[in-house]
Amino acid sequence: MKKWTTSLIHPDARPQGGFESLVTPVFRGSTTLFPGAGDVTDDWRHEAGYSYGLYGTPTTRELGVRIAELEGGNHTFVVPGGQAAISLIALTFTSAGDHVLIPDSAYGPTRQLADDVLRRFGVEPEYYPPLAGAGIEAWMKPNTRLVWCESPGSVTMEVQDVPAIVEAAHRHGATVALDNTWSAGVYFDGFAHGVDVTMQALTKYVGGHSDLLLGSVTVRTAEAYERLGVVHDRLGLSVSPDDCYLALRGMQTLGVRLAALERSALHVARWLATRRAVARVLHPALPSCPGHETWRRDFTGSTSVFSIVFAEGTSRESVAVFVDALELFRVGFSWGGVHSLALPWFHLRRTHENPYGDRLVRLNVGLEDPEDLVADLGRALHRAGLGGPSSSHDAEQPSL
């Protein structure tokens, strides 16, 4: 007869079986049990089964296979955040002495990783104009090993000609990676357009409620799966099954949320295009956005994030008053959740030209009623002395 203290750890009691639910269970665990000594293995490969919690539980792996299915990839690694996904790709596909091309419009931490970390390990990052397209050929070097794409670009929203970039990069033997977060992996098919590796910040649309941090890296080939898997394992990029559960729950409503966010964002963007104080609306579905024609050709929809540029002569102080006067749009980083956000971009880093100065504000449209959002923006424009409709142009219509 076992002592009661031992029974706490080795119970004989078990609940009845036969339970089945619509919800993915949350499997937590670091130690994975083997049937016997002869079954012990230490292998990160998913086809090898489960060997240690670091390599995944059924909850974390279900999220991975679901993302791979969504994006049409060979395999997906789930990592602790979008920045971890960017880092995993960079550390897998570059070595000392390599040259990396990054669009000048890329997410700020992508640039910081390249400048602050990759350079220390002997990797040379170089920033190319995001609208280079086939012209990226001029930026290729014999040691270019990785070409990064982000379409649309972070903050300034340039839509890249990814197929043309892929063709040039592959001709030089370089791997092409794509930050596909803006499209949630569904409105732009990276693998159909030739990309080798895609990543998303699952924090954004897949999570959908601003309450988790996760990222994904999806590969097109078995060879890329092996390369990434080794680095993923050595870096110990484990993820919480609780966060994965929330992401799996978010995926169930992703379709309806994206549809609602697209409608509302377009409504707000079109209204902003009629304001006298707004010189340009940087929404990929509007003709005023750089690369709009490429968006029309390659994308099947748009999402919730876009930027506005105030008219020449608008002071930084006026932009700050506008943002601070907003009530429904809160001030904060990230996007893709149910809350609307506004963020002024006063310190935009660019190697090439920055034509917008301190006049740019990025907006994330949430699931509030769009008429309420328009009213909030109107009040903020008025308080900043930037109110009034334009007499020279009407709202731009999206080219869907």
pLDDT in tens, 149-192: 999 998 999 999 999 999 999 999 999 999 999 999 999 999 99
For residue 97, the 8-state DSSP code is T
Q: Please name the residues in contact with 232: beta carbons below 8 A apart, sequence gap of 6 or more.
A: 44, 77, 79, 88, 217
* Dihedral (Cα; 180, 184, 189, 194), 10-degree rounding: 20
Chain region(s) in the chain for CATH 3.90.1150.10: 254-383
Q: Are 32 and 56 in contact (CB under 8 A)?
A: no
Q: Looking at the predicted structure, is the pLDDT value of residue 61 above 60?
A: yes
Q: Are 139 and 104 in contact (CB under 8 A)?
A: no
Q: What H or E segment, with its residue span, contains residue 167?
A: helix 162-171
* Dihedral (Cα; 198, 199, 202, 203), 10-degree rounding: -150
pLDDT in tens, 333-353: 999 999 999 999 998 888 877
Q: Are 305 and 261 in contact (CB under 8 A)?
A: no
Chain region(s) in the chain for CATH 3.40.640.10: 56-252
What is the model's pLDDT at position 154? 87
Q: What is the pLDDT confidence band of residue 394, given thresholds at 50, 70 and 90?
A: very low
Q: What is the pLDDT confidence band of residue 389, given thresholds at 50, 70 and 90?
A: confident
Per-residue pLDDT, averaged over 24-52, amounts to 88
Q: Looking at the predicted structure, is the pLDDT value of residue 146 above 60?
A: yes
Q: Looking at the predicted structure, is the pLDDT value of residue 397 above 70?
A: no
pTM of the model: 0.93
How far, in Å, CA of 82 to CA of 85, rounded?
5
pLDDT in tens, 210-237: 999 999 999 999 999 999 999 999 999 9
- Architecture label for domain 254-383: Alpha-Beta Complex (3.90)
pLDDT in tens, 256-301: 999 999 999 999 999 999 999 999 999 999 999 999 999 999 999 9
What is the model's pLDDT at position 375? 97
Q: What is the pLDDT confidence band of residue 16, given thresholds at 50, 70 and 90?
A: confident
Q: Looking at the predicted structure, is the pLDDT value of residue 400 above 50?
A: no
Tracing tokens 């608008």 back to the chain, one arrives at: 314
CATH of 56-252, one of 3.10.129.10, 3.40.640.10, 1.10.760.10, 3.40.50.10490: 3.40.640.10
pLDDT in tens, 297-333: 999 999 999 999 999 999 999 999 999 999 999 999 9
Per-residue pLDDT, averaged over 109-125, amounts to 97
